[in-house]
Amino acid sequence: MNIEKESYKKYVKKRAKKSPIIKNCIWAFFVGGFICCIGETLFRAYHRRLLLSHQDSSAWVAVTLIFLSALLTGLGLFGKIAKRAGAGTLVPITGFANSVVSPAIDNKSEGWILGVGAKIFTVAGPVLLYGILTGVAYGFIYYIYLLCV
């Protein structure tokens, strides 16, 4: 049985289309940069035009980017952009919003509770879990450090 697996691996490796790594990296760089430029433009608009504070402008940029990426995911456009741009669309906030909305849309046919409710965090759940645990661990270590100093 091992012989079959090895021969199959060789067959797949021979037939697989080579990925244009340089081209993909350039696309990811420019699309990710474009998303960041949109964020910076929004920040300046909120900060200068609406006269919001630095902190409030930052929060509104995050909310706007989350909304836009969720909307694009719902319309089926985010996947098309991601197919072309690859990791460039994973600028943390837009990629995270997509990872929450996508499973919800995919499982909508199973109902609101067993579909959307149960599956919405299948991709983002581990990120949230380990992000929160890391934050708690860091906070605890920092608290101990402050007690010792």
Helix (H, G, I), strand (E, B) or coil at 20: coil
Q: Give the model confidence (pLDDT) of 7-25 as tens digits.
A: 888 888 888 888 889 999 9
Residue 8 lies in a domain: no
Residue 7 lies in a domain: no
Q: Give the model confidence (pLDDT) of 78-103 as tens digits.
A: 999 999 888 889 887 898 899 889 99
- Would you place residue 3 in the very low, low, confident or very high pLDDT band (cuts 50, 70, 90)? low
Q: Give the model confidence (pLDDT) of 102-146 as tens digits.
A: 998 888 888 888 888 888 888 888 888 898 999 999 999 999 999
- Total count of domains within the chain: 1
Per-residue buried b or exposed e for 14-48, using 16+ beta carbons within 10 Å of the residue's own CB: eeeeeeeeeeeeebbeebbeebeebbeebbeebbe
Domain that holds residue 24: 20-148
Question: 74: which 2 tokens?
Answer: 């719902």
Q: What is the pLDDT of residue 27?
A: 92
Q: What is the chain's percent helix, strand, coil content, to nearest 5?
A: 85, 0, 15
Is the Cβ–Cβ distance between 97 and 65 less than 8 Å?
yes
Residue 143 lies in a domain: yes
Residue 55 lies in a domain: yes
Residue 121 lies in a domain: yes
Residue 6 lies in a domain: no
Residue 111 lies in a domain: yes
Residue 11 lies in a domain: no
